[in-house]
Amino acid sequence: MAGLNKIILVGTVANDAETHFAVEGTARANFKLGVRTFASGAVSLMNVDIVVWGKLAESCAKLLKAGRMVLVEGALRIRSFEDQSGSRKWATEVSASSLQLLDQKATAAPQSAAVAAQEEEVPDLPEGDLPF
Amino acid sequence: MYNKVFLIGNLTRDPEVRYTPAGIPVARFTVAVNRIKKDEVDFIPVVAWRRLAEICGEFLKKGRPVAIEGRLQIRTYKNKAGMEATSTEVVADGMQMLGSKPASAPAAGTKAETKEEDIPF
């Protein structure tokens, strides 16, 4: 039985998306998505690695600049690997199947994923107030 | 900000239920989620709190199919060696048992409101 693995995150792009092309020409884009969470009154920021493949990855390079607010939909992947010292490490990433820009910027290309009519309401917190 | 995870998979083992020093129940288990491509599986750690933790501990068993709704939580902490490590888990808000019903299972899925508190671990 195929299971269900779906994750939906809204956050701000922490770094400009980097797009790479594999030998076969498949594009892959990586970026970090900063997601703020509110737990017991405290605000915490979580950086989630997002990986995008194919056509979608190509448009990431043009559109996903640091600071943009985006909705990411995809699958949660947790994998282990060995680092240089040979110790086992865990990596968490979201393999995105669709992206939607939530802020409206003049620079957004017309073929960008549908821009949501309503902007996500985000409390304006000065970075210095974050409890970490 | 919006942070939602939906999983359907099978438990890799029975949930482990513990209590915080304040007496709050915490259940931990891992859900194996099959990908559409055969023979590829994602293992996702899940944590449930309070009433939902008790229900998970009582009714969920190794191998049983389950649907989980929750949010993604990535934490960084210092491990025993003093190195920075990260832990990833899905904090469950809701759980629904799937598959055929064993004799003692509750009738329907359970949705418990769980608020996480600052707990020292």
What is the 3-class SS of A12-28, one letter each residue? EECCCCEEEECCCCCEE
Give the predicted TM-score (pTM) of the model: 0.76
Q: Which residue among B9, B44, B73 sits closest to A78, beta carbon to beta carbon?
A: B44
Contact B2 A10 (CB under 8 A): yes
Q: B55 by DSSP, 3-state: which?
A: helix
Q: Which helix (H) or strand (E) holds A79?
A: strand A69-82
pLDDT, one tens digit per residue, over A95-109 is 999 999 998 765 545
Residue of chain A whose Cα is closest to the Cα of B43: A78
Highest mean pLDDT among A7-21, A65-79, A82-96, A106-120: A65-79
Enter the tokens of residue A14. Answer: 């922490």
Interface residue A11 vs chain B (CB under 8 A):
yes
Can you give the pLDDT of all 121 residues of chain B as single tens digits?
889 999 999 999 999 999 999 999 999 999 999 998 878 899 999 999 999 999 999 999 999 999 999 999 998 888 888 888 888 999 999 999 998 766 555 555 555 555 555 555 5
Task: Look at residue A89 in the predicted model and tell me its pLDDT.
Answer: 81
Place of tokens 């990986």: A51
Task: Look at residue A32 in the predicted model and tell me its pLDDT.
Answer: 93
pLDDT, one tens digit per residue, over A75-91 is 999 988 888 888 888 88
All residues of chain B having their beta carbon less than 8 Å from the beta carbon of residue A51 are none
Share of chain A above pLDDT 90, in %: 34
Specify the higher pLDDT residue, A60 or A13.
A13
CA atoms of B95 and B7, how far apart (whole Å): 10
Task: Look at residue A113 in the predicted model and tell me its pLDDT.
Answer: 45
CA dihedral sign of residues A79, A92, A59, A62: negative
- The answer to whether B48 touches B27, Cβ cutoff 8 Å, is yes
- Determine the length of chain B: 121
Task: Look at residue A131 in the predicted model and tell me its pLDDT.
Answer: 56
Contact A42 B9 (CB under 8 A): no
CA atoms of A131 and B29, how far apart (whole Å): 29
Mean pLDDT, chain B, whole residue set:
86
Task: Look at residue A105 in the predicted model and tell me its pLDDT.
Answer: 63
Task: Look at residue B95 in the predicted model and tell me its pLDDT.
Answer: 94
